[in-house]
Amino acid sequence: MSTTLTSKHRSTLRGGHLPKWSPLAIIAGSVAAGLGISAAAGLHSSIQWALIAAVVFVVATYGIAAKVEGRRQAKDRIATSLIWVAFLLAVIPLASLVWETVKRGVKVFDVYFLTHSMGVVADTEPGGGIYHAIIGTLEQVGLASLIAVPIGVLTAIYLVEYGKGKLAKAITFFVDVMTGIPSIVAGLFILSFWILILDMGYSGFAGSLALSILMMPVVVRSTEEMLKLVPNELREASLALGVPKWRTILKVVLPTSIGGITTGVMLAVARITGETAPMLLLVWGTNFINNNPFEGPQASLPLYIYQQYANSSGANAAYDRAWAAALALIAFVMILNLVARGIARWKAPSQH
Amino acid sequence: MAKRIDVSGLSAYYGSHKAIDDISMTIEPRTVTAFIGPSGCGKSTFLRTLNRMHEVTPGGRVEGKVLLDDEDLYGAGVDPVSVRREVGMVFQRPNPFPTMSIFDNVAAGLRLNGNYRKNELNDIVEKSLKGANLWNEVKDRLNKPGSGLSGGQQQRLCIARAIAVEPKVLLMDEPCSALDPISTLAIEDLIGELKERFTIVIVTHNMQQAARVSDRTAFFNLAAVGQPGKLIEIDDTERIFSNPSVQATEDYISGRFG
């Protein structure tokens, strides 16, 4: 009875619905429209037809949805499609960059390339590898982390657990300023201080000093955020057991946030691994293996890429090596990211 | 083992704001004392001054005396850390350490303080969990994280953690307000057992709970919002709930205000 009654009226709860496949259909239609308009107008760039397709897609989605489903649902759909367009705009450059690097990098990327230096190979000839640059990058980044991570983590602990008043505000301000220091400025600072004033000579360690300046604010910031996420109740629970504050921080606060802190440190490492400018000023670069980061010029991956490009006067062999080294650098950073994620998941406080 | 608390002329501040004003009371050993009163009247603040947790809050400070068996908690040279080893605390929301197992949670106080013998640890953990009526429910999964337990179990785990360090006094800040009636009953039964060994002070918004578990009840009130909270009266629970000496107490208990 009641069903017959309601069916005569228009339901206020149920309206028209577009079928599930309709976004796909609209995408197909708008891509076709984009291609068609481009062909008709004689446009050749793929960026142009993609942009036309994107605009057609957004407009068509709104029009069709407004007709069938109503204006509120149409606005909902347009927001969704704008987010998808933004997502694609962000992903396309990234994907094409990775694709280009892999495509050009794999030509000479093999075990020989990873295990040999450029010691006996002229820059314009084929052969040689990046072993010396890998050694240099690992040592420089490792030393920079050894300097920056303890200082950064301890600073963050001070700011979150102890810092009050003017000193903490000043430190926060300077950490913010440090975040914005261009890498070349950090390099020039170490150049004038370490090499020109203290007269220490070019070395991997000089590069590490500059890298640690760049790394410190990132570590401070991310560690600070992670420590703030630790609920105050846990600190109070520990203090109420008669545990001193420093042990509370060491045994309760840090273990709770260690996953996030590790992720932050790994991301900071990834950020400094690609720095070129300070290396150019401080590490100098070499074609030979130098295992000692404290004396004499070293190579590093970003520096190697730059020098292969700059010193080769256009030789294809050098370009191939530069791309392969770029691939190695991206792979290194990606592995670090995966390790960071793994550690974060492994260390995250579990529920069961 | 349990100790007497003797408070005289105690005021607590948050920065320049006075939260409680001139409170004096005596809490006898091996009794349960309940604090009742409207929100914001300073019950919790007062509770936290009894083990110097109040000063953990930025700007928190105290004037007056709190004697724990003749020793002033706020006397010169008294270390708040040693005060908290004598006066334990259970909080409103269950807060087991998320990185630790059930066993480690109970052992945390001893381990973090570093004063225990290894072979004692198992016994102490078992005794504390039994003391908190939790042993039978968790004895087969002591190595599982404490956060996997239900809310009521977590709160009993926190009680076990607090009594494992053998405090003289146990403070409870609305320990049942986040729990269902069955878990609440379990905790109330537990309080009845614990008072054989500890001096217990409990803050509660639940007047039936105060009437059920406590021997003495203190009623707090504040004149107006922004004014400091005051102790209106403290008396035997039976008297407070049947024939209080102050009209405001009777109004609050019977639900009449203003």
Task: pLDDT band for B96, please (50, 70, 90 cuts).
Answer: very high
% of chain B residues with pLDDT over 70: 98
> Averaging pLDDT over each range in A217-221, A261-265, A278-282, B174-178, which range is the top one?
A217-221
Q: Would residue A242 count as lying in a domain?
A: yes
Q: What amino acid is encoded at A337 in this protein?
A: N
Q: Comparing C-alpha atoms, which of A22, A136, A7, A17 is closest to residue A81?
A: A22
**What pLDDT is recorded for position A11?**
64
User: Quick check: B162 and A240 CB within 8 A?
Assistant: yes
Tens-place pLDDT, residues B25-76: 999 999 999 999 988 888 999 999 999 999 988 888 999 999 999 889 998 8
Spell out which residues of chain B touch residue A233, defining contact as CB-CB under 8 Å. 91, 93, 95
Distance between CA atoms of A114 and A303, rounded to whole angstroms?
A: 16
Q: A144 and A256 in one domain?
A: yes
Q: Which domain holds residue A204?
A: 115-347
Q: Would residue A157 count as lying in a domain?
A: yes
Distance between CA atoms of B36 and B196, rounded to whole angstroms?
A: 23
Task: pLDDT band for A336, please (50, 70, 90 cuts).
Answer: confident
ipTM of the complex: 0.88
Distance between CA atoms of B96 and A172, rounded to whole angstroms?
A: 32
Instruction: Write out residues 226-255 of A within 8 Å (CB-CB) of B.
Output: 231, 233-244, 247-248, 251-252, 255
Task: Report CA Rg, chain B.
Answer: 18
Task: Report CA Rg, chain A.
Answer: 28
Give the residue from A44, A70, A105 where a domain finishes. Answer: A105
Q: Would residue A72 count as lying in a domain?
A: yes
User: Quick check: B144 and A352 CB within 8 A?
Assistant: yes
Q: A120 and A255 in one domain?
A: yes
Interface test with A, best of B48, B53, B97 (most A CBs within 10 A): B97
Q: A101 and A126 in one domain?
A: no
| Nearest-CB residue to A256 (from B99, B162, B165) | B99
Question: Secondary structure of chain B: what % helix, strand, coil (to 5)?
Answer: 40, 25, 35
Task: pLDDT band for B258, please (50, 70, 90 cuts).
Answer: very low
Q: Comparing C-alpha atoms, which of B101, B80, B94 is closest to residue B162?
A: B94
**What pLDDT is recorded for position A9?**
56
Q: Which residues, including other chains, have CB under 8 Å from residue B234's CB and lie 6 or more apart? A: B25, B33, B216, B217, B218, B219
User: Collapsing DSSP states into helix, strand and coil, what is residue A104?
Assistant: helix
Q: Would residue A278 count as lying in a domain?
A: yes
User: Quick check: B88 and A241 CB within 8 A?
Assistant: yes
Task: pLDDT band for A329, please (50, 70, 90 cuts).
Answer: very high
Distance between CA atoms of A330 and B146, rounded to whole angstroms?
A: 41
Residue A311 or A113, more confident: A113
Q: A239 and A191 in one domain?
A: yes
Average pLDDT over residues A238-245: 91
Average pLDDT over residues A227-252: 92
**What pLDDT is recorded for position A350?**
60
Instruction: Answer yes or no: is pLDDT of A1 > 50.
Output: no
Q: Would residue A10 count as lying in a domain?
A: no
Beta B32-36 vs B17-27: how paired, if at all? unpaired
Average pLDDT over residues A48-65: 85
From A207-216, B82-91, B174-183, the region with the lowest mean pLDDT:
B174-183
**What pLDDT is recorded for position A73?**
83
**What pLDDT is recorded for position B186?**
87
Determine the residue of chain A that is closest to B87 in CA distance.
A240
Q: Would residue A352 count as lying in a domain?
A: no
Task: pLDDT band for B199, please (50, 70, 90 cuts).
Answer: very high
Q: A123 and A55 in one domain?
A: no
Average pLDDT over residues B159-176: 91
Average pLDDT over residues A100-121: 88
Beta carbons of A117 and A288 less than 8 angstroms apart: yes
Q: A287 and A192 in one domain?
A: yes
Give the residue from A105, A132, A164 where a domain finishes. Answer: A105
**What is the token pair recorded at A148?**
């920056």
Spell out which residues of chain A touch residue B165, defining contact as CB-CB under 8 Å. 241-242
Q: A172 and A77 in one domain?
A: no
From A63-67, A139-143, A217-221, the region with the lowest mean pLDDT:
A63-67
User: Quick check: B113 and A242 CB within 8 A?
Assistant: yes
Q: Would residue A1 count as lying in a domain?
A: no
| Nearest-CB residue to A240 (from B51, B99, B113) | B51
**What pLDDT is recorded for position A250?**
92
Q: A294 and A321 in one domain?
A: yes
Cα(first)–Cα(last) distance of chain B, in Å?
Answer: 43
Q: A285 and A189 in one domain?
A: yes
Spell out which residues of chain A touch residue B173, defining contact as CB-CB under 8 Å. none
Q: A265 and A155 in one domain?
A: yes
**What pLDDT is recorded for position B257?**
62
For residue A302, give the CATH number of its domain. 1.10.3720.10
**What pLDDT is recorded for position B1?**
66
User: Per the structure, how many domains does chain A have?
Assistant: 2
What number does CATH give the domain B5-97+168-254? 3.40.50.300
Q: A139 and A197 in one domain?
A: yes
Determine the residue of chain B that is closest to A254 in CA distance.
B99
Give the residue from A55, A81, A105 where a domain finishes. Answer: A105
Q: Would residue A110 count as lying in a domain?
A: no
